[in-house]
Structure 1
Amino acid sequence: MGIKTISIFVITFFIYTSLLAQSPRERYRELDGLIGQNSFFNNHLTGFLLYDLDSQTVQFEKNSHLYFIPASTTKILTFFASLLVLGDSTTLLRYLPKGNDVVIWGTGDPSLYYPAAGIPKPKIDPFLARYKEIFFSDHNWKDEAFGYGWQWDDYNFAYSAEKSPLPLYGNLVTAINVNNRPHLSPSLFSVYQSDKNVRNVTREWRSNDFFYNPKTYNGMRAQVPFITSQKTFVNLASLEWGKVVHASKDPLPPNHFVLKGVPTRTLYKEMMLESDNFIAEQLLLQVSDEVFRELNTEKTIEYIQKTYLMDLPDKPQWVDGSGLSRHNLITPRSLVTVLEKIYRLLPDEEIAQIFPVGGRTGTLKNNYYAPTPYVIAKTGTVSNNHSLAGFIKTRSNKTYAFALMNNNYPYRATAVRREIEKVLLYIRDNF
């Protein structure tokens, strides 16, 4: 090793060790300069908490006691609830044979023909082969198709698919271009021509009538929610299964059988990595089925808050599984408390598989890149609101939990993400 090389090494070493030697007061002051009163984040409502998971101490906080709209970081609560209540595999359906026929009840499992590569196909065909006719009961459905506070005009977007007791195809119609005309799947639905100013397949607000404008059709693949009902399920299932399916109102008896579904981890990864709203909503329904033998989101949230989340610093206003509703409210310090619970439950490598990793996977694939990944976190974005909550690994090989929540800013989310990155890089290099 030459003298010049040694000198560079020594200088680098002393710079690095001097950074590590910063006092907590100096680090706090410099971090406050990035996020405090005179920073970018002072122009809108911002809350932040940085928590040392080893010493179990708060390292920095700003407005961590105030409530914020969490958007998709709500899925952290849904994930935690599912992790504690659901087993290694889903319950696909509950059933009771009646001679050559069978009565089935949905459990909220969304995996049947779900249009996402990460969700395996449940083995339902051998089960169906045993029976001549099928009776589908929705007696255990105690919920609504839309969550409380969802925006009505999102009905036409895939991220706002309706909830249901036993979804098929993710409750979505898929349109693909065949000879410059949309072809719909499942085939139960059809599409007609219209002169309305639309660029792709669209659905009428209150019916399962789909249309497109040949003059403006862009030919891109599209997914549009369909209106769910017991009748629609029966018709779809009859076509898909090639069997007679009837509607039923039979209550779920105590003595019944269970058909297992797919590994729950595959649903968790789809929900967290892709921020899949539909999976999130259906996971809460599966928790409801497991606990109450009925499907009721509101009742389930109340149960989770009274049991597994009773010790949060501030009780969240939690109304859905996905975070679509702006009625959801949570404080940064409560969100960090949930993250710590998850951290104590799962090994680091599993957290890194389920949560998005900066510059590598999921919704963080194009953000927070570094040669060595340091951010493992869930994003949450609705108009004028952006949050990031998860874990950060520092150069000193420590892991911190954090929640950085921003509401009511008047600029693009990219500007907020850019400033968040400055904060996270400082933490990575100095804590």
Structure 2
Amino acid sequence: MVNFRKYISSVAVLASGFFLAQSTVSTVLYSQAYDNQKSSLNLPSPVTSMVEKTILSSKELVDINVNTMMADPVLKNANWGFVVYDPKTKKVISSYNENTPLVPASTTKLLTTETAMSLLGENYRWMTQLEYSGSIDENGVLNGNLYIVGSGDPSLGTNKAGAWSYRDIVSDFVSGISREGIKKVNGDIIIQTALFKGNIARLPENVVWLENNNYYLPVGTTKEINPANEKLIVKKGGFSTEKKYFYVSPYNNQMVYADKYDGEGILTTKLPDAPAYLANTFRTTLVKSGVAVTGKVTPKMTDPSPENRKLVSAYKSPTLGDIVYYTNQRSDNSLAEALLRTVGFQSLGDQTSETGRIVVTNHLKEQGFDMVGLNYSDGSGLSRSNNVTPISQVKFLSSLMDEKYYKTYFNSLPIGGQSGTLKSMFLGTGNGQIFAKTGTLNKVKTLAGYLKTNSGKTLAFSLMVNNYAGSVDMVKKRMEKILEPALDL
């Protein structure tokens, strides 16, 4: 907490001694607001201002700025916290409500992406393989099955982070079939993956359905959401020209869309079952290119008696470092949730979000994360049940600076005024000096990361605002104002 009283007393004592003869002049603490109000104040002489600026350090100016913001109409009734922390000295430079648990929104992704990089390595890749069983006769007929073996690649077919499109992957697989001399497939195309089976997931508690006008549903369907809490609305037009099926969230009564209505209260989301989509597209393309397939596309989650198979082609995803860069720059919710499930599977052999949360929280404990006030509910930050304290965020960010993957992690963060979700902030002061993850929900705006000071220091900071008044743009301006004097530390 800022000790505002000592600055008033110290400045007052010095100023009173220096200006004893000027009985009508009262000491005014220097702040940016003071500069803006010169014309309407009974101001001391220029010499007074110069002395007072000299008296106040950069840290004191930061503290005074924070105190000023406490009375700001946008923030005065909000629940907010702020910390600037020096990773070298391991000391708090300035803070306000630093131990208060707050809703972090998408700054939650800082924990998810770091856990993935720590446990899997920044060069980790997902593999999607094409294989075949049986034999190829002299006429090029494969008497056996084709297998598409997936590994839960969250970027499959999406073009995200440099990932190939479905068309590119299918083209590569078809070329592989041609190289093997296969002209006909007398068998099935089998999808084999034990990961993300069915792609059905329960929603995290208190999830936000409508974020910045982007609609969100979990991968898969709403089948396992408690029917007692759901209300389904099926329409044809009226709300959107493209989306036909709608669902009312039990949490905040917002309407969201899905691409398919399966009946009996089940909606299928816009994200397809990637391996199935790939396999069906592959079969269609083979047939169109003259390679007949007698069987059908069929999933096989487990295979107690696997056939001997030969590898035809293997598609590698972008590196985890590339995926993390895309996730943090664009605040991609689906990639963050997939990373959560991937670390769960790789660590404990189970692909559920619940297992992922266990793995992330255990990892944070092992890393010495300050668990007081932490509630890690999902991988993306869409749940309002997420909570974290500003002080734990900055200590966590500071601890990463010695990790071998720190450079990749740091580079994944949006840059103020230049890239990602920070491109429209810090266009003036702070441009190119703020490296941070943003977070935005209704009446929640957060920012956490690193700042490069004018003297060359790297400091960690966290600034989280919950339940503010006014618009999100108004809060952004206050955040810029709070951080501005910190650049001179």
Q: How has the CA–CA distance of structure 1 residues 300 and 397 changed in structure 2, closer, same or farther, with 3 Å as cutoff?
A: same
SS of alignment partner, residue 395 of structure 2? helix
Q: What is the CA distance between 1:160 and its match in structure 2?
A: 1.9
CA distance in structure 2 between the aligned counterparts of 1:17 and 1:251, rounded to whole angstroms? 80
Q: Spell out the pairing of 1:304-323 with structure 2 (5 A cutoff).
A: 304-310=360-366, 311-315=368-372, 316-323=374-381
Residue 425 (structure 2) aligns with: 367
Contact 1:375 1:391 in 2 (8 A): yes
Alpha-carbon distance between aligned partners in 2 of 1:85 and 1:294, rounded to the nearest angstrom = 15
User: C-alpha distance in 2, partners of 1:48/1:386?
Assistant: 12
Partner of 2:281: 239
CA distance in 2, matches of 1:391, 1:104: 43
Q: Is the 8 A contact 1:161 1:278 kept in 2?
A: no
Distance in 1 (CA, whole Å) between partners of 2:387 and 2:125 is: 29
- Equivalent residue number for residue 294 of structure 1: 350
Alignment-derived partner of residue 423 in structure 1: 482
Q: Tell me how far 1:287 sits from its aligned partner.
A: 1.8
| Aligned-partner SS, 1:51 | strand
1:112 to 134, 138, 156: 156
Residue 73 of structure 1: aligned partner: 107
Aligned residues: 371
Q: Is the 8 A contact 2:114 2:409 kept in 1?
A: no
Instruction: Please give the root-mean-square deviation of Cα atoms over the aligned residues, in Å.
Output: 3.8
State TM-score, norm by structure 2: 0.65
Percent identity, aligned pairs only?
Answer: 25
Cα distance in 1, alignment partners of residues 325 and 242 from structure 2:
29
Question: Residues 14-413 of structure 1: matches in 2 within 5 Å?
Answer: 22-23=56-57, 26-27=60-61, 29-36=63-70, 41-87=75-121, 88-93=123-128, 98-99=133-134, 100-101=144-145, 103-104=147-148, 106-116=150-160, 118-121=161-164, 124-125=169-170, 126=172, 129=176, 132=185, 133-137=188-192, 139-141=194-196, 144-145=200-201, 147-149=203-205, 151=207, 154=210, 160-163=216-219, 196-205=237-246, 208-209=259-260, 225-226=269-270, 228=272, 234=276, 237-242=279-284, 244-250=296-302, 260-310=316-366, 311-315=368-372, 316-345=374-403, 350-351=408-409, 353-370=411-428, 373-413=432-472
Q: Specify the SS of the correspondent of 2:127.
A: strand
Query: Given that residues 273 and 361 in structure 1 are in contact (C-alpha distance below 8 angstroms), is that contact kept between their aligned partners in structure 2?
Result: yes
Q: Is residue 159–residue 276 contact of structure 1 (8 Å, CA) maintained in 2?
A: no
Q: Give SS of 2:126's match.
A: strand
Asked if the contact 1:33/1:39 (under 8 Å) is kept, the reply is no
Q: What is the CA-CA distance between 1:29 and the residue it aligns to?
A: 3.9
1:158–1:238 distance in 2 versus 1, CA, 3 Å? farther
Q: Name the SS of the counterpart of 2:375 in structure 1.
A: coil
For residues 252 and 395 of structure 1, the distance between their equivalents in structure 2, rounded to whole angstroms, comes to: 63
1:198 is paired with a residue whose SS is: coil
Q: Which range is displaced more, 121-130 or 330-339?
A: 121-130
The one-letter amino acid paired with 1:239 is T
Distance 1:98 1:146 in 2: 36
Structure 1 residue 153, shift from structure 2 partner:
5.5
Q: Which runs of 5+ in 1 are unaligned?
A: 1-14, 165-193, 211-223
Aligned to 1:167: none
Query: What one-letter code is carried by the residue in structure 2 that aligns with 1:269?
Result: Y
Contact between 2:341 and 2:352, CA under 8 Å: does it hold in 1? yes
Q: CA deviation at 1:420?
A: 0.7
Preserved contact between residue 70 and residue 330 of structure 1 (Cα < 8 Å): yes
Query: What is the CA–CA distance in structure 1 between the aligned matches of 2:305 and 2:336, rounded to whole Å?
Result: 27
Aligned to 2:101, the other structure's residue is in SS state: coil
Structure showing greater radius of gyration is 2
Q: Equivalents in 1 of 2:51, 2:418: separation in Å?
A: 29
The answer as to whether partners of 2:259 and 2:269 remain within 8 angstroms in 1 is no
Asked if 1 retains the 8 angstrom alpha-carbon contact of 2:453 and 2:487, the reply is yes
- Letter paired with 1:295: Q
